[in-house]
């Protein structure tokens, strides 16, 4: 089952902290969370969003774990800050040739290191929890202090914030391992109940 609402990030709705969020997003998040918490299945919940608030992630993960769900949390990818395909085209025109690889320094703004650190601090009490599996896509696109915006002639993102369909396959191994870990975590939780 896929539950997504265009232009809405994932959060546990709170009247005070989410007053400025669009009403349809608040309603969608509320009804989706209510549905997931009221059912035995799905037992595994994958959380991916255009994260911007570590506290919201902590609250959401805590609610799901306390309900016995296994959570696969996808960490933030890159904060590109510009339309990557457009800039890539412009760079190729200026260079007068195809640019098959474009990597940039993995600085704190690009990698959203402040947000990542806040997320880690917010989830520290669940660090060894078998039902929390953290997936970090940076491990695929960043290495040795650089992050690839373009690799093998393909842009890694299709605009300012969404991965490209072509390059989505590069995360397959990461997600295969995460889903195996999630299944093991759910099995361990069931054994502990018995």
Count of residues in the chain: 194
What pLDDT does 133 receive? 96
What pLDDT does 191 receive? 64
DSSP designation for 157: B
Q: Which residues of the chain have pLDDT under 50?
A: none
> By C-alpha distance, which of 60, 71, 75, 151 is closest to 113?
75
- Residue 135 has φ and ψ, to the nearest 5°, of -110, 125
DSSP designation for 43: -
Structural contact between residues 150 and 156, judged by C-beta atoms closer than 8 angstroms: yes
- DSSP characters for 102-113? EEEE--TTTTTH
pTM (two decimals):
0.88
Domains and CATH numbers, the chain: 23-193 (3.40.50)
What pLDDT does 174 receive? 95
Contacts of 106 (CB under 8 A, 6+ apart): 138, 142, 145, 146, 147
Task: Express each pLDDT in 40-73 by its tens digit.
Answer: 999 999 999 888 889 999 999 999 999 999 999 9
Contacts of 30 (CB under 8 A, 6+ apart): 13
Task: State what percent of residues in the chain have pLDDT above 90.
Answer: 65
């Amino acid at each position: 089952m896929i539950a997504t609402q265009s232009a809405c990030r994932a959060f546990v709705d709170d009247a005070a902290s989410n007053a400025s969020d669009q009403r349809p997003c608040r309603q969608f998040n509320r009804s989706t969370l209510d549905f997931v918490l009221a059912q035995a299945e799905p037992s595994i919940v994958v959380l991916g969003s255009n994260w911007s608030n570590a506290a919201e992630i902590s609250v959401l993960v805590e609610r799901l774990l306390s309900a016995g769900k296994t959570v696969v949390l996808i960490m933030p990818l890159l904060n590109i800050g510009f339309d990557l395909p457009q800039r890539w085209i412009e760079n190729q025109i200026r260079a007068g040739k195809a640019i098959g690889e474009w990597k940039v320094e993995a600085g704190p703004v690009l990698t959203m290191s402040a947000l990542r650190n806040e997320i880690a601090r917010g989830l520290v009490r669940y660090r060894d929890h078998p039902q929390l599996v953290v997936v970090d896509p940076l491990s695929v696109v960043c290495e040795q202090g650089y992050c690839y915006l373009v690799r093998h002639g393909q842009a890694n993102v299709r605009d300012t914030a969404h991965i490209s369909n072509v390059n989505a396959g590069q995360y397959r191994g990461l997600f295969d391992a995460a889903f195996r870990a999630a299944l093991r975590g759910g099995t361990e939780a069931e054994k502990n109940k018995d």
